[in-house]
Chains A and B, each alone.
Chain A
Amino acid sequence: MKITMQDVEHVALLSRLELTDEEKEEQLVQLNKILEAMEVLNKVDTSNVEPLTHVLPLKNVLREDEYRDTLPKEKVLQNAPDQEEGMFKVPRII
């Protein structure tokens, strides 16, 4: 599989990255190199191997339905670039 310039632009948009033309070219080369490396792994026969979703042998980590402390309001909004009436304020969405 070959990454195209369109793919680079799409991934950049999804990642909210603004790339210059130069950077896009650079990404195009690098992403293709990464995929080439993956192609090597793809050669391994995994037909009898269950897909691995987690690397640690952990399961059923659960907590009881009990209260924990909430964050004080001034701390909640401490890093908010803008706020109003105790809420985070963001520019127009659509």
Chain B
Amino acid sequence: MSKYEAVIGLEVHVELKTKTKIFCGCPTEFGAEPNTNVCPICLGLPGSTGVLNKKVVEYAIKAGLALNCEIAGYNKFDRKNYYYPDLPKGFQVSQYDYPIAFNGYLDIEVNGETKRIGIERLHIEEDPGKLVHLGETITVAQGSLIDYNRSGMPLVEIVTKPVIHSGEEARVYLEKLKQTLEYTGVSDVKMEQGSLRCDANVSVRPVGSEKLGTKTEIKNLNSFRAVQRAIEYEIARQIDVLEDGEKVIPETRTWDENKGITLSMRNKENPDYRCFTEADLPPLDVSREWVEELRNSLPELPDARKKRLIEVDGLPEYDATVITSTKALADFYDRTVEKYKDAKTVSNWIMGEFSRLLNANNLEVSETKVTPDGLAKLLGLIENGTISGKIAKQVFEEMFSTGDDPAEIVKKKGLVQISDQGQLEGIIAEVIANNPKSVEDYKNGKEKAIGFLVGQVMKATRGKANPGMVNKLLKEKLDQI
């Protein structure tokens, strides 16, 4: 046991999936040509005044509800003042003392144990523009270029209580947060596109101490793995500093993915943000009716859905976890089970062939042509003996890329299973005649030799022979010799 305990809090910024920005009608699309999705409002030109996007409020409330938060009735917005070139107005509009959602939680599972991660607050704010530094890093750059397309994109910032104690817990929490928000549909939550961004506050203290140690903030965490590794590195670094009798410096550090270390970026100067009410935006009263309406519009969330798959459909916990990992996969499963009742078989196919093909082709569920209806029909063809399970995999691969009906594929490619006893007996007789060595092995008690002979029959029929019948008939024939 270590003498030290780590205390971690995460601040996560999530870009909301609205069509337009938070205070103006500019598009929020990702990857547009620089400075083309801008207008006087998001450029902060003098005299311009924004109007709050209703959808932003709805999405923030939905996110808050999905994270088990209370929703504030009275809301106002504040100006957080600081100078940085990506912030055209010289202030960021945020919610300083009245966050729209607060006091929530997410339950995570680490090492088979459930742990509740408290969520302090969730508030609405605007994103600044994007900087491109002309040089290796910001400190040696000759200058910077600014693209204001991102300026005014709607964000929610979600802040945990300081209740996380390891890099692993932090990663699992972040994965759960992504999964939950993905279900609500309020964000794409893609770390690689920056619609999910995470900063970590890390401190260590002697075990048993009540007082929090000095914390550092880690930025540039671009993947779930980076979150875990950076935190683990930072905990070890801080313990080393304390063991050497020195003090942890409160500072912002950046994660260097290649070197696997955190580096000092800047001392945490006491920023004087002079937050005060943004008087250009009137206050926002969120009625209880509105909150309930939004609560009712939420889909079944991951925990509830997993529970249903275990308790109602009878799936093993492992299957239910994998199937509910994304809403798209869970929807695919549910819609297949509507048409083909054997839940475990559906689950096996989704976790097996379907996931394998998704990974191999680097595709999302929505990008494939295969439908739940198609999978259900395919499983029907196996069940009624038209095709073998092995051939079905071949058919499924075809469905995956073309979306064709499985029965059509089977017909077109002549894949119907050979279950005709006479036909199979003929092939088996040939295989026995051509493989005297294996037959002899089998007769001498080497039972495994039958596997080779079955393989030869399958080969001769290009996989179409009914495997159950082949096994049975082959055994009978061999025993007669």
Contacts and interface: CB of A to CB of B under 8 A. Distances in A.
* Secondary structure of the A contact surface, majority rule: loop
A14 B266 CA distance: 18
A53 B277 contact: yes
Contacts of A33: none
A91 to B, nearest CB: 5
Contact of A62 (B26, B27, B54): B54
A56 B54 CA distance: 20
A5 B33 CA distance: 48
B367 to A, nearest CB: 25
A70 B145 contact: no
B282 A58 contact: yes
Interface string A56-88: 101111111111111101001100000011111
Interface residues of B, number: 50
A66 to B, nearest CB: 6
Contact of A63 (B54, B131, B147): B54
B35 A60 contact: no
Given A53-B283, A59-B283, A59-B285, A70 B277 contact: no
Contact of B43 (A14, A71, A84): A71
B20 A53 contact: no
A43 interface: no
Interface residues of A, number: 35
A77 B34 CA distance: 11
B43 A76 contact: yes
B314 interface: no
Given A61-B51, A73-B35, A86-B33, A68 B20 contact: yes
Given A54-B277, A60-B285, A85-B34, A65 B55 contact: yes
B35 A87 contact: yes
Contacts of A71: 38-40, 43
Interface in B9-63: 18-20, 24-27, 33-40, 43, 51-57
B85 interface: yes
A73 B132 CA distance: 18
A26 to B, nearest CB: 22
A16 interface: yes
Contacts of A54: 76, 277, 279, 282-283
A68 B145 CA distance: 26
Nearest to B81: A14
Contacts of A16: 83
Interface stretch (B134-142, B187-195, B196-204, B377-385): B134-142
B76 A76 contact: no
B39 A68 contact: yes
A73 B36 contact: yes
B34 A87 contact: yes
Contacts of A53: 76, 277, 279, 283
A70 B277 CA distance: 28
B272 interface: yes
A90 interface: yes
Contacts of A65: 18-20, 53-56
B275 interface: no
Contacts of A84: 145
A65 B26 CA distance: 10
B55 A70 contact: no
B26 A91 contact: no
Nearest to B53: A65
Given A54-B283, A90-B146, A93-B144, A67 B139 contact: no
Given A16-B83, A62-B53, A67-B20, A94 B139 contact: yes
Contact of A70 (B27, B54, B142): B27
A9 B279 CA distance: 27
B451 interface: no
B455 interface: no
B84 interface: yes
A71 B33 CA distance: 13
B284 interface: yes
B316 interface: no
A60 B274 CA distance: 25
A92 interface: yes
A90 B141 CA distance: 11
B19 A70 contact: no
Given A54-B279, A76-B38, A90 B85 contact: yes
17 contacts: A14-B274, A61-B281, A62-B284, A67-B19, A68-B24, A68-B25, A71-B38, A71-B43, A76-B35, A76-B148, A84-B145, A86-B35, A89-B143, A90-B143, A91-B143, A94-B138, A94-B139
Closest 7 pairs (CB-CB, A-B)? A68-B25, A87-B145, A65-B55, A58-B282, A62-B54, A88-B146, A63-B51
Interface of B: 18-20, 24-27, 33-40, 43, 51-57, 76, 81, 83-85, 131-132, 138-139, 141-148, 266, 272, 274, 277, 279, 281-285
